[in-house]
Amino acid sequence: MIVVMRTDATMEQVNHVKELIREMGLKDHPIVGTELTVVAVIGDDRKKDRGRLEGAPGVDRVVPILVPYKIASRETKRERTVVRIGANCAVGGKQIPVIAGPCSVEGEKQIVAAAKACKEAGAHAIRGGAFKPRTNPYAFQGYGEDGLKMLAAARDATGLAVVTEVLTPSDVLIVSKYADCLQIGTRNSQNFKLLEACGDQPKPVLLKRGMSMTLGEMLQASEYILAGGNHNVILCERGIRTFEDHTRNTLSLSAVPELHYRSHLPVMIDPSHGTGHARLVPDMARAAVAAGADGLIVEVHPDPEHAWTDGAQSMTPASLGELIATLKRVALAVDREVV
Ligand code: PEP
Ligand code: MN
């Protein structure tokens, strides 16, 4: 449930409500909006004493929340959340950032060249996997910490913020040290210990949709991170498994307006994993922006034919440049901007 404070409630009254919640053996989660403050009550429903909170000074009303993702829900916060990645990239505002880069970090030269080319093409942040989740145990698993250092070199060379995947709770601190945003991949999106560990560190988190996950389950996964105290979560639709096999996955673009309806968190689209074919990426990227996506994450490789992973779905920097030019026009049509 959430406690909605009166618009004229004082700080002491909010603090008193927080104390009452803690006395009940529950966790308080205040959300300070521009108009009013609400305090979400987190924990065992049986401990919740609605009457005591309703009677507290400064309280306007107490509203039960029916969805199981209380902090992620729009019932708790009407205004859209804007998540900052590094100094120059924000997701969820008027501007729509494009995060671009190779599937894997293949070496310092490769990632620095990719970052420079993506920046030149108009990208706003760089992606690249240092820890790779691979279906086959004999496939390239990523350079690990060395890969993180290569990403840091790419950031130094371009000023672009770095988004990279973390696979296990024990790697969260090291990835958080080098990255500007931690990605949780589709195979790990219900790794609850990993979600908790990402909730307990300061960098923003890009949470991909599990390939067989409902949107409700995705929002509950995001709740693990939010409940840990990290409010900077970006939801990312990257396609789900269906019977269809002309694409690698089925990219569910209706996830964008539906997630916006259910949650205040920003929503990104990954048209690369969503389709598996570079030739399909530009159209799906434009469609995503038209559908209201708050950002895009796309795989771009300086030499896709020789990419170590996901070459078939990787665009060239030149085609990224062409895509961004057309995205600017689509964004304007829906009152957004790609700058
Ligand atoms: C990736 O971004 O390279 C990746 C592995 O993504 P996903 O988890 O969506 O498959
Ligand atoms: Mn990939």
CATH 3.20.20.70 for domain 83-333? yes
Which ligand 1 atom is nearest residue 310's CA? 3
Question: How many whole angstroms from 310 Cα to the centroid of ligand 2?
Answer: 5
* Other beta carbons within 10 Å of 239: 25
* Structure tokens that stand for 252 in this block: 């569910």
* Other beta carbons within 10 Å of 102: 28
* Residue-range domain boundaries for the chain: 2-63, 83-333
DSSP 234-294: EEEE--B--S--SSSSB--TTHHHHHHHHBSS-EEE-HHHHHS-GGGHHHHHHHHHHTT-S
Closest C-alpha residue for ligand 1 atom 4: 185
Question: How many whole angstroms from 152 Cα to the centroid of ligand 1?
Answer: 20
Q: Is the CB of 238 under 6 A from ligand 1?
A: yes
pLDDT (tens digit per residue) in 156-215: 999 999 999 999 999 999 999 999 999 999 999 999 999 999 999 999 999 999 999 999
Burial class (CB in 10 A: 0-12, 13-18, 19+), 339: exposed
Residue with tokens 């799906």: 284
Counting Cα atoms < 13 Å in the Cβ hemisphere of 211 gives: 13
pLDDT (tens digit per residue) in 38-78: 999 988 888 999 999 999 999 999 998 888 899 999 988 99
CATH 3.30.70.1140 for domain 2-63? yes
What is the reported pTM? 0.93
Closest C-alpha residue for ligand 1 atom 6: 185
Assess whether pLDDT exceeds 90 at residue 33. no
* Other beta carbons within 10 Å of 67: 16
